Amino acid sequence: MAQLINGKEISAKVKESVKTETKEFIEKTGVVPGLAVILVGDDPASKIYVGNKKKACAEVGFNSFEHILPESTEQGELLDLIEKLNHDPSVHGILCQLPLPKHIDERAIINAISPKKDVDAFHPANVGKIMIGDYDFLPCTPAGVMELIHSTGVSVGGKKCAVIGRSNIVGKPMAMLLLHENGTVTICHSKTKDLEKECREADILVAAVGRAKLIKGDMIKEGAVVIDVGMNRDENGKLCGDVDFSEAEKRASYITPVPGGVGPMTIAMLMKNTLTAAKLSLKG
CA triplet 206, 210, 214: central angle to 5 degrees?
70
Q: Determine the Cα–Cα distance for residues 42 and 28; give it in Å rounded to an integer.
A: 39
Annotated catalytic residue within 15, 97, 136, 244: 97
Residue 75, judged by CB atoms within 10 A of its CB (0-12, 13-18, 19+), counts as middle
Could you confirm whether 97 is annotated as catalytic? Answer: yes
Annotated catalytic residue within 15, 116, 120, 203: 120
Could you confirm whether 118 is annotated as catalytic? Answer: no
Could you confirm whether 75 is annotated as catalytic? Answer: no
Judge contact between 86 and 38, C-beta under 8 A: no
Annotated catalytic residue within 15, 53, 172, 221: 53
Give catalytic residues, as residue numbers: 53, 97, 120
